[in-house]
């Protein structure tokens, strides 16, 4: 027997080839449900507002019909047409124009004058404006007598106004983002406001002869050159992965609450374990390389925690100092030896006969990397790594998400 979430997970596996657990499916359904509730509540607010506007518009139209010299049959027909409309149609000017009878043309009324007041240079006019939607604003309001301020004539006024300009010049293109704008790599790559990851790789090297090495990349993030036209990173609710990482002091939840929130990312790796072209042996080297950049000169501490079933198994802590390159501070950890636990884990994983078995093991295997400023203990980057086995002929692949908390 399969439950609902298991059936959904099996369907996702059959249609996309991606493995999802019952807990992941359940969490995603809850996220979608909350989103649907918010949309429903927003719709209720909009509907209520439309009803208020419709009642107001209905009162204005009824007042307008009373002011017009129409027979009772025409008024009844107009009210019947209006009663058949929805709130949105009543509010819509185009719908009202189609459903209500046309307004009679405004009758010309000669200007009426009243005696000049003492101290005023001459007579003034009183203009009476009829309710004509073609000429005056404020459709549906009662007539008003507009009494302008008395003022002397303007004998110096010229003749008719000049014609409009026959042509125009196109607008200039928008200027490039200023130096104070958000850097192009922020929100598009693994980068906070103070530190950016440039490269990350885990690999195996085998020496063929004294001068030649063969290298196989298990996972790899290469350097990119993003532009402002590139899309922003997708967001994932961090609460969906809390159970995959330690919850005690210094865990993912505590780090995120401490912030800054723009320093937290999720990387999904499709690892390439197909190194059959290389002979693995005692001389093989397993290592990890990573590179970061910043505009500030800092001493950074890189903590890498390997987790199994949400519990920390082993932690490696490295300290790196800045090197000035091209006007920026670069932090490079080159060929850091992989721990014995990870090497044995990769060996056992590669010997599993089927990829779905490998993915079943990797589902409970994660890595948490935290980069901090050694002097201030400020979190500069926090990256959660999750894994599957790559089925692509192009080797290792990855996808980056921003971690948020809705």
Mean pLDDT confidence for 81-106: 56
As a whole number, the mean pLDDT across the chain is 78
- Note the pLDDT tens digit of each residue in 221-266: 998 888 889 899 999 999 999 999 988 787 899 999 998 999 999 9
pLDDT in tens, 140-183: 444 444 444 444 554 444 555 555 445 545 555 555 555 446 88
Residue tagged 């532009």 (tokens): 227
Contact call for residues 227 and 240 (beta carbons, < 8 A): no
Q: Are 68 and 103 in contact (CB under 8 A)?
A: yes
Looking at residue 163, its pLDDT comes to 53
Q: CB of 307 within 8 A of CB of 241? A: no
State the average pLDDT over residues 83-110: 54
Query: What gap in Å lies between CA 224 and CA 230, rounded to an integer?
Result: 12
Quick one: pLDDT at residue 63? 75
Q: What is the pLDDT, as a whole number, of residue 116? A: 42
Q: What is the 3-state secondary structure (H, E, C) of the chain?
A: CCCHHHHHHHHHHHHHCCCCCHHHHHHHHHHHHHHHHHHHHHHHHHHHHHHHHHHHHHHHHHHHHHHCCCCHHHHHHHHHHHHCCCHHHHHCHHHHHHHCCCCCCCCCCCCEEECCCCCCCCCEEEEEECCCCCCCCCCCCCCEEECCCCCCCCCCCCCCCCCCCCCCCCCCCCCCCCCCCCCCCCCCCCECCCCEEEEEEEEEEEEEECCEEEEEEEEEECCCCCCCCCCCCEEEEHHHHHHHCCCCCCCHHHHHHHCCHHHEEEEEEEECCCCCCCCCCCCCEEEEEEEEEECCCCEEEEEEEEEECCEEEEEEEEEEECEEECCEEEEEEEEEECCHHHHHHHHHHHCCCCHHHHHHHHCCEEEEEEEEECCCCCEEEEEEEEEEECCCCCCCEEEEEEEECC
| Residue 82 reports pLDDT greater than 70 | no
pLDDT the model gives residue 134: 47
- CB distance 306 to 367 below 8 Å: yes
Q: How far apart are CA 131 and CA 61, in angstroms?
A: 11
Measuring CA to CA, which residue among 196, 187, 264, 194 is closest to residue 233?
187
Pair type for strands 397-404 and 234-237: parallel
Give the pLDDT mean for 317-346.
95
For residue 139, the model assigns a pLDDT of 41
Question: Poorest-confidence range of 86-95, 239-248, 287-296, 308-317?
Answer: 86-95
Task: Give yes or no for a contact between 373 and 300, defined as CB atoms under 8 angstroms apart.
Answer: yes
- Please tell me the predicted confidence (pLDDT) of residue 15: 76
Rounded Cα distance between 380 and 298, Å, is 11
């Amino acid at each position: 027997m399969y439950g609902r979430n298991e059936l959904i997970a099996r369907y996702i596996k059959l249609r996309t080839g991606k493995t999802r657990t019952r807990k992941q499916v359940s969490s995603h359904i809850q996220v979608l449900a909350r989103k649907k509730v918010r949309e429903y509540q927003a719709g209720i607010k909009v509907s209520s507002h439309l009803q208020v506007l419709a009642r107001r518009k209905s009162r204005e139209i009824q007042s307008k019909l009373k002011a017009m010299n129409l027979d009772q049959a025409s008024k009844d027909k107009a009210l019947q047409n209006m009663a058949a409309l929805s709130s949105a149609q009543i509010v819509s000017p185009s719908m009202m124009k189609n459903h209500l009878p046309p307004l009679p043309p405004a009758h010309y009324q000669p200007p009426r004058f009243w005696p000049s007041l003492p101290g005023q240079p001459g007579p003034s006019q009183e203009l009476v404006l009829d309710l004509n939607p073609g000429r005056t604003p404020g459709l549906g309001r009662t007539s008003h007598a507009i009494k302008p301020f008395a003022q002397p004539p303007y004998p110096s006024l010229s003749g008719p106004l000049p014609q409009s300009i026959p042509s125009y010049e196109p607008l200039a293109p928008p200027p490039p983002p200023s130096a104070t704008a958000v850097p192009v790599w922020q929100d598009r790559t693994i980068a906070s406001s103070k530190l950016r990851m440039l490269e990350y790789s885990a690999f195996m090297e085998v020496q063929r002869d004294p001068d030649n090495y063969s290298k196989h990349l298990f996972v790899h993030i290469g350097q990119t050159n993003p532009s402002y036209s590139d899309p922003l990173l997708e967001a994932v609710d961090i609460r969906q992965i809390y159970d995959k990482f330690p919850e005690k002091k210094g865990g993912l939840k505590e780090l995120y609450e401490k912030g800054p929130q723009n320093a937290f990312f999720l990387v999904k790796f499709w690892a390439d374990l197909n190194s059959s072209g290389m002979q693995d042996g005692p001389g093989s080297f397993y290592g990890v390389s990573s590179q970061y950049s910043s505009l500030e000169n800092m001493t950074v501490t890189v903590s890498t925690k390997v987790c199994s079933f949400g519990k920390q198994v082993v932690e490696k802590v490295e300290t790196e100092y800045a090197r000035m390159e091209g006007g920026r501070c670069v932090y490079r950890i080159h060929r850091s030896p992989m721990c014995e636990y990870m090497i044995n884990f990769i060996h056992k994983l590669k010997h599993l006969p089927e990829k779905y078995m490998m993915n079943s093991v990797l589902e409970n295997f994660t890595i948490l990397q935290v980069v901090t400023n050694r002097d201030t203990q400020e979190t500069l980057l926090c990256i959660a790594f999750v894994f599957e086995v790559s089925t692509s002929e192009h080797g290792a692949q990855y996808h980056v998400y921003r971690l948020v908390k809705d």
